[in-house]
Structure 1
Amino acid sequence: MFFGILFTILWASGAVSVKFGLLSAPPLIMGTIRFLLAGSLLLVYIYLFRKGKYRMPQKHEWKPLILLGLFNTSLYLGCGFWALKTVSSGFFNLAVVVNPFLVAILSSIFMNRFIQKKEWIGMLVSAIGLVIATYPLLQDGHSTLSGIILLLIGMISMAIGSVYFQKQKLQLPSLVINAWQVLFGGIILIIPSMLLELDEPVVFDMNLVLYLVWSVLGVSIFAMILWFYLLKQDAVKANIWLFLTPIAGYLLASILLGEKITIYDAIASLFVFTGLYLSGNLRLNKLPKPPLEKKVEA
């Protein structure tokens, strides 16, 4: 239970830490630095400290790894970081947890996956929850429509990456896939960050250093390793801890950023979790079906 709670807090802190990082650097440059550091350190851990346990990708596996880096890191997290300039971190954590619904819709289009009636009901209930959460944020100026659209683009990209991952059936451990996709995602972001943010100031202060240390070591590396440990222990409980990140996210945002937790947030969260449960994405007492999305993004 301790490791589950620790993972939930660490993973929920990701969006909150980005808010602090944005005080010192623009989102794409900040993300590029983080992904290059995290990917490099993960690969050092995999191929140096765990030497001999993991193989290098084969020739035909490089293209899928690069595309996964594009969809799951460059676009998803790049758009997500950009969105967090104008979207509350609490809403970010709540919105991302419904991504399995986007995966289901895209899978029905590209993989002929049948969407069950209970899944449609779950999607509708969760969508109502997100509308409830979005309305007051737009009204009081805590979020902007452009930020929410950026977040949606990022979520769609992550869903595309998840479906692509399922179709490719890479014969590599999830930890290795994540490490390479994070590194490639950072490399891909170098040019966009230079073109779009070259004139924006980057302050190399203690705030930026602390953000990078926390986000790279705490979130991208330690939390990811912890996630794979939890999956090995009990996949059902592991996914429950993952779905609890919005609650931890709201609490951390309230404590560290001063974001208010409103009645709208509580009602919206209730709708979202109810939708996840009705759809079968959130299982409390039985083994889940093989998930479309087997990994957590760094």
Structure 2
Amino acid sequence: MNIKELLIGILFTVLYASGAVVMKFGIHSAPPLTLSTIRFIIAGILLLFYLYVFHKGKYPLPNRREFKVLFWLGLLNTSIFLGFGLLALKTVSSGIFNLFIPINPFLFALLALIFMKQTIRLREWGGMVVAFIGLFVATYPLLSGSHSSIQGILLIVFAMIAMAVGSLIYKKVDLQLPTIVVNTWQVIIGGVILLIPTLILESGEPVTIDFHFIGYLLWSVFVLSIFNVNLWFYLLKKDAIKANNWLLLNPVAGYILAAIFLGEPITLYAVIGTVVVLLGLYISGSFGVKSSKNSTANIKEA
């Protein structure tokens, strides 16, 4: 790995972890589902313009069968995963949210075992157990304080399950579409689906157009949903497995950013829990996603 790839990997990790932090600022001005819906629809429209206007004729339109799959990916990977995840941020620290992200490969492996009859090696089982112990160590003390709630933790768990199911569908169906096309359509579809719960649950809630609101949209749309996705594709093109390893640093970057910008405490439990989670991932051999195809279904818009 040369210095350029190293710097790009670090930048990707920091920007990816910043998603939960910037959402904390955004909810000062608008409810989370409203923010998410606006973000995904704007990002989706811009990406559609990029694919089919700026690069007209280069990228294919999905057929009817592919649209059915993209609907489920948009529902699971965008609407439910990020919708539940951002709702959780109302009662969960951004550091804890980022700590859960690298656990997705474990859930994917369990679902693959159940529905695709894929085997899980003993070391992978061991890694899962160790990682979940680390999650417990990091989250349990915060439940008695003001930084996390059991409801928020459960929302994150449901979000992770949705993401794992989306990964399973993506792998099983084997879409013959460029990854950027898949990500573009699941972003716009997910944003449109989110309109329904947003109107039901948050209709009438105040929205303040201020620095926090504008800053959240600019950062999440242009920096996260567009710029950081391109960094991800660059890393995947160089080496898919090394690219996924950058996600293992997500909790570290998340805790540091949360401490700097939100004043969230970095407790001894958080440090120990994060180390144990990373140890579990190491023991398992980072077995989660072994190819760029499985990866890109879920990393698009943290």
Q: Under TM normalisation by the shorter chain, which class is it?
A: over 0.9
Label 1:277 to 1:137 Cα distance change in 2 as closer, same or farther (>3 A).
Answer: same
What TM-score results when the alignment is normalised by the length of structure 2? 0.94
3-state SS of the aligned residue for 2:49? helix
One-letter identity of the residue aligned with 2:36 = G
Q: Partner of 1:297 in structure 2?
A: 300
- Match of residue 184 from structure 2: 179
Q: Does 1:258 align with 2:263?
A: yes
- Matching residue of 2:198: 193
The question of whether the paired residues in 1 share the 8 Å contact of 2:241 and 2:290 is answered with no
SS in 2 for 1:294: helix
Is 1:233 the counterpart of 2:238 in the alignment?
A: yes
Matches within 5 A, 1:183-222: 183-222=188-227
Could you tell me how far apart the structure 1 residues matched to 2:292 and 2:18 are? 24
TM-score by length of 1: 0.95
Residue 36 of structure 1: which of 25, 41, 44 is its match? 41
Matched, 1:83 2:88: yes
1:293 partner amino acid: N
Shift of 1:182: 0.6
Report the CA distance shift for 1:101/1:282 in structure 2 as closer, same or farther (over 3 A). Answer: closer
CA distance in 2, matches of 1:290, 1:51: 28
Q: Distance in 2 between matches of 1:252 and 1:39?
A: 27
Alpha carbons of structure 1 residues 289 and 186: separation in structure 2 relative to 1, 3 Å: closer
Q: Does 1:16 align with 2:21?
A: yes
Corresponding residue number in structure 2 for 1:246: 251
Structure 1 unaligned blocks of 5 or more = none
The one-letter code sitting in structure 1 at the alignment partner of 2:188 is: L
Task: Tell me if 1:150 matches 2:149.
Answer: no
Please report how far the alpha carbon of residue 292 of structure 1 lies from its aligned counterpart in structure 2 after TM superposition: 7.8
Verify the 8 A CA contact 1:85 1:147 in the aligned structure 2. Answer: yes
Task: Tell me the CA shift for residue 141 of structure 1.
Answer: 2.3
Partner residue in 1 for 2:99? 94
Matching residue of 1:72: 77
Partner of 2:3: none
Which deviations, in whole Å up to 9, do the C-alpha atoms of 1:151-193 show, x marking residues without a partner?
Answer: 1111111111110111110001111101100100000010110
| CA drift at 1:207 | 1.2
Aligned CA-pair RMSD: 1.4
Task: Tell me which of 169, 175, 189 is aligned to 1:170.
Answer: 175
Single out whichever of 42-51 and 116-125 deviates more from structure 2. 42-51
Q: Does the CA-based 8 Å contact 1:162-1:292 persist in structure 2?
A: no
Deviates further, 242-251 or 252-261:
242-251
Residues 30-86 of structure 1: CA deviation (Å, up to 9, x unaligned):
110011011111121222223332111112111000110000000000000000000
Q: Distance in 2 between matches of 1:192 and 1:66?
A: 16
TM superposition shift of 1:282: 6.5
Aligned residue type for 2:294:
E
Distance 1:140 1:191 in 2: 33
Contact 2:101 2:250 survives alignment (8 Å): no
Rounded Cα–Cα distance in structure 1 between residues aligned with 2:83 and 2:300: 12
Which segment drifts farther, 51-60 or 204-213?
51-60
Secondary structure at the aligned position of 1:98 is classed as helix
Contact (CA 8 Å) 1:230, 1:238: kept in 2 or not?
A: yes
The 8 Å contact of residues 31 and 78 in structure 1, kept in 2 or not, is answered as yes
In the TM superposition, what whole-angstrom CA distance separates every residue of 1:249-296 from its partner, at most 9, and x where no partner exists? 11110000001111111111111111111111169xxxx844783211
Kept in 1: contact 2:30–2:207 (CA 8 A): yes
* Distance across 1 between alignment mates of 2:113 and 2:25: 38
The number of aligned residues is: 294
Once the two structures are TM-superposed, the CA of residue 136 in structure 1 deviates from its matched residue by 1.2
